[in-house]
Structure 1
Amino acid sequence: MRTFDLIIIGSGSGNSILTEDYEGLDVAIVDGGTFGGTCLNVGCIPTKMYAYPATLARHAVEAGRLGVDAQLAGVDWRGMRDRIFGRIDAISHGGLEYRKSLPNVTVVEERVRFTGPRTLRTASGDELTARQVVVAAGSRPVLPEVPGIDLPQVHTSDTVMRLEELPRRVVVVGGGYIGAEFAHVFSSLGAKVTQVNRSHRILRYHDPEIAERFAREASRQWKLEMGWTLTGVEPAADGEAAVSATFCDPEDPEQTMRLPADVVLVATGRRPNTDVLDAAAGGLDVREDGLLAVDEQQRALSGGRPAEGVWALGDISSPYQLKHVANAEARTVQHNLLHPEDLRATDHRFVPSAVFTSPQIASVGMTQEEAEDWALEHGTEVTVKVQEYGATAYGWAMEDRTGLCKVIAEKGTGRLLGAHLIGEEASVLIQPLVQAMSFGLDAGSMARGQYWIHPALSEVVENALLGLEVPEHSPLDAAALAGRR
């Protein structure tokens, strides 16, 4: 059995733990997949490298209403793909070779499973153990168990970006952020897209007003079918398409729908890899949703108590499944491994997220419904303001008919509780609101305590804040307010 000071399972955010502070430790990085993890290889980065040109293509098609005679003359899918992965694959390979070159690091390019506390067995049968183990093994796409799911025309987000050609017809199964982003990419680049969702609400974890606005805009760009469940995929009989995807109404299974497609993208969620690791065999607690149980210090739990020498971060233990959260958790683990006498916790209070679809969506904090429930519980009131992009000067320049900024605050103090945007650069516009929430800046002070560039699009945030029924200036004790959450 090979013994190390530290074993890191996963080469995504877990890989970032190693700095010069770890040079004196004997370390193993274990990953049987592609080095660099989900974000680099099949997630955040390549999807946005597709989403940006897709947005340019969408703007070209819509420029006519601004008096610009633009058109989309064509799309070089293969050139786009090769540009994206020519860069990404080189980074992945370079990261792997760099880690292999370090004298204190052993890279194990195999799958592993727990066989006991801090003890692992590789796929080839080698036994590994360490004083400290970091579990950062990520997640994988969920596939429904239906006939034809293994056909070569059926893809997940892990594989669909490496297609040889832009498909003519794409069926996207799923109404979450992955489905919304890929529906935008394929539709804007010229494919005929049908997005199918099981429930009658798309983006169900977002504020209902945002989800409703997105459903309206999405249905103008691609076909949106709600209330259907995938029942199977089979080779198409007519030769016009590669396959045919069949759906039924979950409330009335006799009602069916058949859609021809060249590609079926299944985007029905991701599953933490706790089962692949056999985390239970390592004595670790696994939650009902499959996540590895951790405390605020990122210590993995065993029997409800911190397991000695085991830490976890990222998709395998976090419900957020966001790279910026995994990075924050990695920084916590990075510190705590070396400073057991001074453990730090990860701040998960105000986690923002964005959906790079058309139009863009961004969110942080409570939805309006959650805030109203919170206010009822705490005996206080909330105030809500919805500011349309089109009511600001830059919104006029854009002739915007889509975007909005929704802010939610506690009425008496101006404490920001949530913010939700849909529209151009929503992922950028939300950042000052995230900052205000994180550092305890109330809405009134934020709106009037600084200059807002006129006529920048950021005025939509300013005007939303000014529309709240809050004191003009109400300095808050951030620590005290955090305790109320």
Structure 2
Amino acid sequence: MADLTCDVAVIGAGTAGLAAERNARKHGASTLLIDPDFAGTTCATVGCMPSKLLIAAARAAHRARNTDLFGVRTGEVTVDGPAVLARLRQERDRFASGVRDSFDDLPEGVAVKARARFSGRNSLTLDDGRTVQAGAVVIATGSSPMVPEPYAALGDLALTNDSIFELDDLPESLAVIGGGVIGLELAQAMARLGVAVSLFDMGDRLAGVRCNKVHDALKGAMSQEMALHLGVEPEPSEEDGRVRIDWDGRHQSYDRVLVATGRPPNVSGLDLSATGLALDDKGMPDVAADTLQCGDSPIFMVGDANAARPVLHEASDEGGIAGRNAVAYPAVVPSRRKVSFTITYTEPPLVMIGQDPDDSAKIGEADYTNQGRATVDGENVGLARLYAAAPDGRLIGADLFCPGADHMGHLLTWAMEAGQTASDLLDRPFYHPTLEEGLKGALRDICGAVPLRVPGDQDPGLPPGV
């Protein structure tokens, strides 16, 4: 087989890699997109979509069990585990096939089905024996679940988010190791589907929440749905075909264990040492956040591979930035990054936006345990915390754990992108009764602290939270 040359080689055909190849080609470069499987994106196959399908089933079960609040009697609610998982896989496969179909739209010769490793700063060796000489290389190899050795020894009893969706039926009991985003989302979903769930984490923080008040609300809500064991060191073993977890002098057995201890970047097979890049103790190069360039080299690293902002929309943005800069190398151009924005799909959702406030920030708080629309819907739990810069009250960040946070989070992120202030938002119309209306108290807190004119003072008196 003939060796290959191109302007830009992209390693990895996930969300970030597809965006990088597309943007490089758009800017006139000859490109190669190198991937061993072309199986589809992490989001479609083992991430965003299958997890949300499981969460949707859990939501339906939870709502069906709680209709008595409204005087609606549904009788006993049963969950058909095989049917839940069959629908999940059917829809998951449909999403993934749509991504795979997009590979057919690539120009002839762009897709290269092979595994690549570096043999120099801009040269690659493929596992089929060919070599690639490129003007620049974009690394978009994604990430994979980390399974520490005590759990790896359990074989099929240990699940990850790459394997849990392939179960034929729901387990009766499940230990979840890791209280990060993946572990917490799947733990709550399984609990609402009738699985007895215990979540373990060596740390004392769930889902990386930065705000103590929001974390207290999250922890309180989750403790009502599962057993939480934070700040412990769980020790797994196999016992009579089940998983035994020992911690703090206690032990319990479970049908299966979900290992959600992180997804490190897929870099071990790339032979990055051949590039001459300075690597840290984890074998990772330094990556500039505004260019995605590794040092001053013609190598760029994007998406989950750089572990900086491991969410889909950021991966797409990073791929686009790196694809353009790979074409322009060495004349790379820094790009302004968007306001950081993450959603954890617990119920209610957990949202973190923008900056963690410093001592000079002005903070507004909205309590959703007594908010009008949340109470009407029987979802009155949690709170929202908004952060603004002095002296003008410009919004710079927010932490929310409350109903509708995934939608309100978008509105707040867009407002921050536009440089809007708390006063600007209070000037907008708020319909009654809505969840958005609950933010008015937090916005007024900020305006009162700056201080600024507070629109809406003429509003008629309403009960707290309405």
RMSD: 2.6
Which stretch shifts more, 56-65 or 339-348?
Answer: 339-348
Match of 2:410 among 431, 435, 445: 431
Task: Tell me the CA shift for residue 50 of structure 1.
Answer: 1.5
Q: Which residue of 2 aligns with 1:180?
A: 184
Structure 1, residues 133-168: CA drift from partner, whole Å, max 9, x if none? 111111111111226534111011111111111111
Match of 2:160 among 138, 156, 161: 156
Q: Which residue of 1 aligns with 2:452?
A: 472
Structure 2 Cα separation of the partners of residues 396 and 406 of structure 1: 19
Q: Which residue of 2 aligns with 1:326?
A: 315
**Does the residue aligned with 1:270 lie in a helix, a strand or coil?**
coil
Match of 1:336 among 306, 321, 325: 325
Match of 2:423 among 444, 450, 454: 444
- Within 5 Å, give how 1:263-412 maps onto structure 2: 263-288=256-281, 291-301=284-294, 305-308=295-298, 310-339=299-328, 343-348=332-337, 350-367=339-356, 371-372=357-358, 375=359, 381-412=360-391
Structure 1 Cα separation of the partners of residues 303 and 317 of structure 2: 9
Structure 1, residues 81-124: CA drift from partner, whole Å, max 9, x if none? 33333343344345445535644334333332212212222334
- Within 5 Å, give how 1:123-162 maps onto structure 2: 123-146=127-150, 149-162=153-166
Structure 2 Cα separation of the partners of residues 394 and 107 of structure 1: 51
CA contact (8 A) 2:431 2:437 kept: yes
CA contact (8 A) 1:298 1:312 kept: no
- The TM-score normalised by the length of structure 1 is 0.85
What 5-or-longer segments of structure 2 have no aligned partner?
A: 455-466
Match of 2:89 among 74, 85, 92: 85
CA contact (8 A) 1:171 1:259 kept: no
Structure 2 Cα separation of the partners of residues 88 and 145 of structure 1: 30
Match of 2:78 among 59, 68, 74: 74
Structure 2 Cα separation of the partners of residues 471 and 98 of structure 1: 53
- The TM-score normalised by the length of structure 2 is 0.88
Which stretch shifts more, 276-285 or 179-188?
Answer: 276-285
User: Match of 2:441, as an amino acid?
Assistant: N
User: Match of 1:424, as an amino acid?
Assistant: P
What 5-or-longer segments of structure 1 have no aligned partner?
A: 249-254, 376-380, 475-485
Q: Which residue of 1 aligns with 2:62?
A: 58
Q: 1:124 to 1:335 in 2, by over 3 A?
A: closer
Task: Tell me the CA shift for residue 454 of structure 1.
Answer: 1.4
Q: Percent identity?
A: 26
Structure 2 residue 5 is the aligned partner of structure 1 residue 6: no
Q: Which residue of 2 aligns with 1:480?
A: none
Structure 1 Cα separation of the partners of residues 152 and 420 of structure 2: 53
User: Match of 2:257, as an amino acid?
Assistant: V
Structure 2 residue 18 is the aligned partner of structure 1 residue 15: yes
Structure 2 Cα separation of the partners of residues 94 and 437 of structure 1: 33
Task: Tell me the CA shift for residue 41 of structure 1.
Answer: 1.0
Q: 1:321 to 1:98 in 2, by over 3 A?
A: closer
Task: Tell me the CA shift for residue 424 of structure 1.
Answer: 1.7
CA contact (8 A) 1:5 1:130 kept: yes
Structure 1, residues 207-258: CA drift from partner, whole Å, max 9, x if none? 2221221111111111111222232331x33xxxx4123334xxxxxx4332
CA contact (8 A) 1:295 1:306 kept: no
User: Match of 1:111, as an amino acid?
Assistant: R
Structure 1, residues 337-396: CA drift from partner, whole Å, max 9, x if none? 4455975434336201111113311111234xxx23xx4xxxxx3322221123332123
User: Match of 2:325, as an amino acid?
Assistant: N
Q: Which residue of 1 aligns with 2:464?
A: none
